[in-house]
């Protein structure tokens, strides 16, 4: 049999394939098409450009080229600022950038591997062989692959939530995706586009999803996971999950599996996460669309125009990234065929034409109730759900979760509960979820050129979200939730540079969102909130363009969490320290330069301490992905800025200015590199013990860039982590890879001698 394995997933990062059709010419580009660039720019302020641009603030568009001074953006009148965070002093020495295949932490700290891909989660499950031979069925009780977002829930001796327990807890984490090469003896077996080994596919079903795992601290301070805990659980692509909220029972949710449209099987591509005030976990479904097989050329003729518009907007149009639907024969329960989102039967109850509509949601899981059925919370809207981060919890006020839709040029959202918070609900588990997560308002963010922002409600009948909208003829509010991307398009939200994690500063309630990068950002379509277009120049001289290093935007609600007005600025721009000042706007140094921020998380033990994690491919000629500690200020602590972008793709080069609002520059005191990961990994997922003395950090997909077949033949991988410090294991090529295959894992980081981490 001629086994052909797939190569590096990172080369086809799904988030890099934008599906926002409103990413057409901007108003500025249309203007530019009518005037020559030179004449527009020479016109400068007050003549042709102002006349044409009308009410658009000049700060929002290119101007000031050819030496013409650009106007500084004009900020809106500023209300009283949010409270300044308490002073925090970072007390560690910065870690140097590195390409070493190890986890580097500051002197005086210890990073210990605690929980790895394949580790058993029940007594009687064998230790992981890690050579591709572990039986597929055992993976239902093993750690999944690609560790991602996670949350620590303290637990007392009675097995109940205890916010202060720093010796026993439940660690709940996502397993976003897989590196197939290392899961099977020599990668995936694929013959002529067909998966021919069903057990390989079954294994892959299990290693996606979520882990719930009990962790304990010994008297000596060492953390370990408890293999035999009755709380250990895996939620994966076979787990039955209730559809909850407005879309439950909707015709668009009907499948052969659930003719009533009330249930689905599984969750997939769980990237980041969230949690609730009643101590449940939200696993968010990010790049789910690519898992489904739907060949548009043959399926579209069987679909309505609205269905095609929906599939197109979410990118449900391909052969399925892992080819799961190709296994034959299928089982009586359509184990494989249910990944085929095509019209194959007479009605929706005969096939899986609607199955993709049951993905793209936040999935609530009660970690303290191992037999509970998880719920997909449809009121929160459907998108490439990076995560959902809880805002301030105040009795008598609504609850809010901030969410990113991670694809190029997608949006930032918030969900606000209609019910106001009653602290008595804190012990009600998912029953509280029914109250707060099934009934609320969904908004998408628009960032204005004067430093204000507007939360646009995605409500049928408002904000252009009607049956008459040209992009998608909305039928009702449930249609809006299922097609939230179309609704945000209609409302006119701002297309962002890939919204990843969000976090709310417990010191002042301000909201931070990472915008990891955007290779499709063009010279002419920058905007105040996504203001950079520049050359990212690698050490070998290779140039990539766009916003390759990403930035972090932040917001302050102007009228409470349920309001529609906010203020914003850009907290931080990623850049190489040696980039020009026009690119390295935050003045990063060798001690804190970074690229592609993704994970973002505020400590609760140390209010005001922020952690940033990277998932990068733009600075990896110099350093592996990393984690930094930060002490941010607040919205408006910098001011209006004029950013100069240069287009070197044309001769002669052209420049244009873009107004924005930028926080104070980074310093070695308020931003400092804490960790650098092993080769070809992503650093993602961080949580802490409530006392702040231990942080848990996930190392995702070390060695992902390996090309499987050739590397298995020569037994060489691009990473051996977490075995890379074991020279004898690396040298041992007599046993096929079992001591050497890299594994995603959770590391626990503590300060030697104790004390809070980082401060
Ligand atoms: Fe899975 Fe957007 O990172
Ligand atoms: Ca991410
Ligand atoms: Ca990412």
* HEC letters along 557-576: ECCCCCCCEEEEEEEEECEC
Which of 394, 370, 151, 359 shows the shortest CA–CA distance to 275?
A: 151
pLDDT tens digits, residue range 661-714? Answer: 999 999 999 999 999 999 999 999 999 999 999 999 999 999 987 655 666 666
Query: Tokens standing for 181?
Result: 């090469």
Residue 705, pLDDT score: 78
Query: Residue 636: pLDDT above 80?
Result: yes
Ligand 1 pocket residue status of 271, Cβ below 6 Å:
yes
DSSP 645: E
Separation of alpha carbons 411 and 404, rounded Å: 6
Q: What's the token pair of residue 191? A: 């013959």
Which pLDDT belongs to residue 737? 58
What percent of the chain has pLDDT above 70? 88
> pLDDT per residue over 165-210, tens digit each?
999 999 999 999 999 989 998 889 999 999 999 999 999 999 999 9
pLDDT given for residue 68 in this prediction: 41
Q: How far is the CA of 583 from the centre of ligand 3 (A)?
A: 21
* Ligand 1 atom nearest to 404, measured from its CA: 2
The arithmetic mean of pLDDT across residues 599-627, rounded, is 97
Tell me, in angstroms, the distance from the centre of ligand 3 to residue 499's CA: 9
For range 705-732, the mean pLDDT: 77
Q: What is the predicted pLDDT for the residue at 185? A: 86
Give the pLDDT band of residue 12 (cuts 50, 70, 90).
very low
Distance CA 551, CA 595 (A): 8
- Average pLDDT of the segment spanning 287-304: 98
Confidence (pTM): 0.92
- pLDDT recorded at residue 652: 97
Hey, which residues does 111 pair with through a beta bridge? 749
Asked if pLDDT for residue 142 goes beyond 70, the answer is yes
User: Peptide bond before 722: cis, by omega within 30 degrees of 0?
Assistant: yes
Residues 6+ apart with CB under 8 A from 192: none
Mean pLDDT, rounded, of the chain: 90
- Give me the phi and psi of 252, to 5 degrees please: -70, -10
- In the structure encoding, which two tokens stand for residue 470, read together? 């040209």
d(CA 250, CA 361): 15
**85 has a pLDDT exceeding 80:** no
Read off the pLDDT of residues 546-592 as tens digits, 9 standing for 90 and up: 999 999 999 999 999 999 999 999 999 999 999 999 999 999 999 99
Per the rule left: phi > 0, alpha: psi between -120 and 50, beta: everything else, 622 is alpha
| 684 CA distance to ligand 2 middle (Å) | 7
Cα distance between residue 601 and residue 697, in whole Å:
11
How far is Cα 371 from Cα 14, in angstroms, rounded to an integer?
33
Question: For 620-744, where are the alpha helices, taking DSSP H only?
Answer: 708-714, 727-731
- Give per-residue pLDDT as tens, 105-128: 999 999 999 999 999 999 999 999
Report the 10 Å Cβ neighbour count for 122.
Answer: 16
Query: Do the beta carbons of residue 527 and residue 494 sit within 8 Å?
Result: yes
Token pair recorded at residue 392: 């301030």
Give dist(CA 167, CA 217) in Å, integer. 5
- The pLDDT of residue 46: 27
SS3 state at 324: helix
pLDDT score at 43: 25
Q: Give the pLDDT mean for 381-404.
A: 98
Burial of 540 (0-12, 13-18, 19+ CB in 10 A): exposed
Q: How many Å apart are CA 723 and CA 716, to the nearest integer?
A: 13
176 Cβ below 6 A of ligand 1: yes
Q: pLDDT digit string (tens) for 446-484?
A: 999 999 999 999 999 999 999 999 999 999 999 999 999
Determine which residue's CA is closest to atom 3 belonging to ligand 1: 271
Q: Could you give the angle at which helices 305-314 and 484-491 cross, rounded to 10 degrees? A: 90
161 or 41, which is more confident: 161
Residue 31 has pLDDT above 90, yes or no: no
Ligand number nearest CA of 406 is 1
Q: How far is residue 513 from each of residues 569, 636, 693, measured CA to CA in Å?
A: 11, 16, 26
Report which ligand 1 atom has the smallest distance to the Cα of 271.
1
Confidence of residue 754 (pLDDT cuts 50, 70, 90): very high
Is ligand 1 within 6 A of the CB of residue 386? yes
* pLDDT over threshold 50, residue 67: no
331 in Cβ contact with 339 (< 8 Å) = no
How high is the pLDDT of residue 713? 63
CA 189 – CA 349 distance, rounded (Å)? 32
CA 516 – ligand 1 centroid, Å: 9
* Cα 271 to ligand 1 centre (Å): 5
- Label residue 87 by pLDDT band (50, 70, 90): confident
Query: Is residue 728's pLDDT more than 60?
Result: yes
Does 27 have pLDDT greater than 70?
A: no
pLDDT at 709: 61
Quote the ligand 2 centre to 613 CA distance (angstroms): 9
How far are the Cα atoms of 98, 395, 614, 699 from residue 679, in angstroms, in the given order?
9, 46, 13, 10
The residues placing their C-beta within 5 Å of ligand 2, an ion, are 271, 500, 598
Backbone angles phi, psi at 39, to 5 degrees: -70, -35
Calpha distance 382→483 (Å, rounded)? 6
Higher-confidence position of 741 and 555: 555
Average pLDDT over residues 252-275: 98
Lowest-confidence region among 49-53, 397-401, 604-608, 711-715: 49-53
**pLDDT given for residue 716 in this prediction:** 77
Antiparallel, parallel or unpaired: β 499-504 and 452-457? unpaired
CB 645 within 8 A of CB 698: no
Q: Considering only 42-56, 216-230, 617-631, which range has the smallest mean pLDDT? A: 42-56
Give the closest residue (by CA) to ligand 1 atom 1.
271
The pLDDT score that the predictor gives to residue 730 is 78
Confirm if 171 and 215 have CB atoms less than 8 A apart.
Answer: yes
pLDDT in tens, 414-454: 999 999 999 999 999 999 999 999 999 999 999 999 999 99
Q: How far apart are the first and last CA of the chain?
A: 57
pLDDT at 54: 26
As a whole number, mean pLDDT of residues 391-401 equals: 98
pLDDT at 308 over 70: yes
Q: Tell me which of 312 and 29 has the higher pLDDT.
A: 312
Question: Dihedral of CA 272/278/279/280: which sign?
Answer: negative
Query: How far is the centre of ligand 2, averaged over its atoms, from the C-alpha of 599 (Å)?
Result: 6
Question: Contact, 271 vs 243, CB < 8 A?
Answer: no
Does residue 93 come out as left (phi exceeding 0), alpha (psi in the -120 to 50 range) or beta?
beta
DSSP category for residue 240: E
**Which atom from ligand 1 is nearest to the alpha carbon of 15?**
2
Q: Is 500 in the pocket of ligand 1 (CB under 6 A)?
A: yes
Which element (helix H / strand E) includes 685?
Answer: strand 682-688
């Amino acid at each position: 049999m001629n086994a052909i394995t797939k190569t590096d997933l990172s080369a086809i990062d799904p988030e890099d394939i934008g599906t926002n059709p409103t990413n057409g010419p901007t108003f500025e580009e249309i203007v530019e098409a009518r005037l020559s660039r030179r004449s527009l720019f020479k016109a400068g302020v007050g003549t042709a450009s102002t006349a044409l641009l009308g009410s658009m603030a000049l700060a929002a568009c290119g101007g000031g080229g050819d030496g013409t001074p650009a106007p500084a953006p004009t900020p809106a009148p500023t209300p009283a600022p949010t409270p300044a965070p308490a002073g925090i002093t970072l007390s560690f020495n910065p870690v140097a950038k590195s390409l070493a295949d190890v986890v580097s932490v500051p002197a005086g700290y210890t990073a210990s591997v605690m929980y790895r891909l394949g580790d058993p989660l029940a007594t009687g499950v064998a230790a992981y062989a890690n050579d591709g031979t572990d039986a597929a069925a055992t993976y239902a009780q093993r750690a999944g692959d690609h560790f991602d977002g996670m949350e620590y829930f303290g637990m007392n001796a009675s097995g109940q939530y205890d916010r202060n327990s720093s010796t026993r807890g439940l660690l709940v984490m996502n397993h976003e995706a897989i590196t197939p090469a290392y899961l099977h003896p020599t990668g995936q077996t694929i013959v002529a586009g067909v998966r021919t080994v069903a057990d390989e596919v079954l294994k892959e079903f299990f290693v996606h999803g979520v882990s719930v795992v009990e962790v304990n601290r010994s008297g000596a301070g060492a953390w370990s996971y408890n293999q035999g805990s009755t709380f250990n659980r895996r939620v994966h692509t076979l787990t039955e999950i209730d559809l909850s909220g407005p879309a439950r029972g909707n015709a668009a949710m009907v499948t052969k599996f659930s003719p009533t449209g009330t249930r689905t099987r599984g969750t997939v591509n769980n990237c980041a996460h969230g949690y609730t005030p009643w101590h449940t976990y939200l696993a968010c479904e990010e790049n789910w669309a690519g898992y489904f097989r739907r060949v548009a050329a043959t399926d579209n003729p069987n679909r309505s125009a609205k269905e095609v518009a929906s599939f197109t907007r979410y990118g449900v149009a391909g052969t399925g990234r892992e080819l799961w639907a190709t296994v034959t024969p299928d089982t009586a329960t359509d184990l494989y065929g249910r990944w085929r989102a095509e019209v194959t039967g007479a009605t929706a109850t005969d096939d899986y034409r609607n199955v993709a509509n049951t993905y793209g949601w936040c999935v609530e899981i009660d970690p303290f109730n191992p037999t509970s059925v998880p719920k997909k919370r449809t009121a929160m809207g459907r998108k490439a759900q990076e995560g959902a981060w809880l805002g301030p919890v105040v009795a008598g006020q609504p609850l809010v979760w901030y969410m990113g839709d991670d694809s190029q040029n997608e949006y930032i959202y918030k969900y606000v509960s209609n019910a106001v918070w009653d602290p008595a609900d804190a012990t009600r588990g998912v029953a509280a979820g029914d109250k707060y997560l099934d009934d609320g308002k969904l908004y998408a963010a628009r960032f204005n050129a004067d430093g204000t922002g507007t939360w646009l409600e995605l409500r049928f009948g408002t904000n252009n979200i009607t049956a008459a909208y040209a992009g998608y003829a909305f039928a009702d509010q449930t249609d809006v939730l299922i097609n939230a991307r179309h609704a945000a398009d209609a409302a006119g939200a701002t297309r962002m540079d890939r919204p990843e994690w969000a976090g709310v500063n417990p010191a002042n309630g301000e909201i931070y969102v990472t915008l990891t990068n955007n290779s499709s950002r063009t010279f002419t379509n920058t905007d105040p909130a996504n203001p950079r277009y520049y050359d990212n120049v690698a050490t070998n001289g290779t140039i990539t363009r766009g916003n390759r290093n990403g930035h972090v935007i932040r917001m302050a609600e102007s009228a409470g969490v349920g309001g529609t007005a906010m203020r914003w600025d850009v907290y931080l721009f990623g850049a190489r320290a040696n980039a020009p000042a026009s690119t390295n706007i935050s003045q990063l140094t060798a001690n804190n330069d970074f690229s592609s921020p993704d994970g973002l998380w505020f400590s609760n033990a140390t209010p005001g301490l922020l952690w940033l994690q990277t998932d990068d491919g733009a600075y990896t000629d110099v350093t592996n992905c990393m984690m930094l500690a930060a002490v941010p200020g607040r919205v408006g602590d910098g001011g209006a800025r004029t950013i100069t972008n240069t287009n070197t793709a044309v001769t002669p080069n052209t420049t244009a200015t873009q107004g924005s609002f930028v926080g104070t520059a980074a310093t070695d005191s308020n931003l400092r590199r804490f960790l650098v990961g092993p080769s070809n990994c992503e650093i993602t997922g961080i949580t802490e013990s409530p006392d702040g003395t231990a942080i848990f950090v996930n190392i995702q997909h070390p060695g992902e860039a390996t090309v499987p077949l050739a590397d298995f033949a020569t037994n060489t991988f691009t990473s051996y982590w977490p075995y890379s410090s074991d020279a004898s294991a690396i040298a041992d090529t007599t046993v096929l890879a079992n001591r050497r295959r890299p594994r995603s894992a959770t590391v626990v980081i503590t300060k030697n001698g104790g004390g809070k981490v980082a401060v």
